[in-house]
A and B are shown apart, each in its own frame.
Chain A
């Protein structure tokens, strides 16, 4: 059984690491999702895994504006606050 983090930053980087094949600790806030090689299928996988692990929906129009890891972490934090 894998241990899954709950804070937005760790969750985001853990999932991005799983999808891109890179070590989570090599991903920093300024990393762009495109630099991680995320294509459209990768973005779909990211959205679905984030929703599954955080239990909160991520609207498509908000995910569309996510370019960097920092953008993603801010989105997750704001959705956590509004939950």
Chain B
């Protein structure tokens, strides 16, 4: 059965919606109008902004910080990452944060919270991560970058960078609207023009 928010007042319209089967820790912060769908889990210490959507079976953990108008689709794992406004994670994306993953420490005991150093991913404004991609710990994905489906990204991606593959390679540039730019850094779809900058591309003014 599909559950739908049934607001009755303007204040209720702003309340976040949490599906019955989702688990949101009381200590997590959830912004206005954000929706958490079936079987998703949001741990304590996580902050989620306004107007976000978390699809089915998403796990957000380890004090991750998520901005406004972020879409996280079914089955994603967000571990400690920072997602700026307008980011999209397609289904099955994993953002990792442990550079030296081990179940046990050298003395053979199960590793606990203090046995590892967090090195989370940062995804900047408007970037999109394609389905089933994995982003390695410590990587920064630039503004409006586009990661192709099934990629394994181990290095930073510049603003508007278009990367794909395992290991991911940069194959071009992507527009704000999501289309690939042509050789003159113009968008064949919306006509926007860009200039090369040291950190990637920016809109031509």
Q: Which residues of A are interface residues toward B (Cβ below 8 A)? A: 32, 34, 39-41, 43-44, 47-48, 60-61, 63-64, 67
Contact A40 B183 (CB under 8 A): no
Q: Which residues of A contact B165 (CB under 8 A)?
A: 44, 48
Starting from the known contacts A60-B170, A64-B170, 7 additional A-B residue pairs (CB-CB under 8 Å) come to A40-B172, A41-B164, A43-B171, A44-B165, A44-B171, A47-B171, A61-B170
Contact B182 A40 (CB under 8 A): no
Contact B169 A44 (CB under 8 A): yes
- Can you list 28 A-B contacts (CB < 8 A)? A32-B183, A34-B182, A34-B183, A39-B180, A40-B148, A40-B162, A40-B164, A40-B171, A40-B180, A41-B148, A43-B171, A43-B172, A44-B164, A44-B165, A44-B169, A44-B171, A47-B169, A47-B171, A60-B169, A60-B170, A60-B171, A61-B170, A63-B169, A63-B171, A64-B170, A64-B171, A64-B172, A67-B183
CB distance from B178 to the nearest CB of A (A): 12
Q: Which residues of B are interface residues toward A (Cβ below 8 A)? A: 148, 162, 164-165, 169-172, 180, 182-183
Number of A-B contacts (CB under 8 A): 31
Interface of A is mostly: helix
Q: Which residues of A contact B180 (CB under 8 A)?
A: 39-40
Q: Which residues of B contact A67 (CB under 8 A)?
A: 183
CB distance from A45 to the nearest CB of B (A): 10
Nearest residue (CB) in B for A41 is B164
Q: Which residues of B contact A44 (CB under 8 A)?
A: 164-165, 169, 171
**How many Å lie between the Cα of A38 and that of B83 in the bound state?**
32
CB distance from A57 to the nearest CB of B (A): 11
Closest 3 CB pairs of A and B: A60-B170, A43-B171, A40-B171
Q: Which residues of A contact B171 (CB under 8 A)?
A: 40, 43-44, 47, 60, 63-64
Question: Most chain-A CB neighbours within 10 Å: which of B148, B170, B171, B172?
Answer: B171
**How many Å lie between the Cα of A81 and that of B182 in the bound state?**
30
CB distance from A63 to the nearest CB of B (A): 8
Q: Which residues of B contact A61 (CB under 8 A)?
A: 170
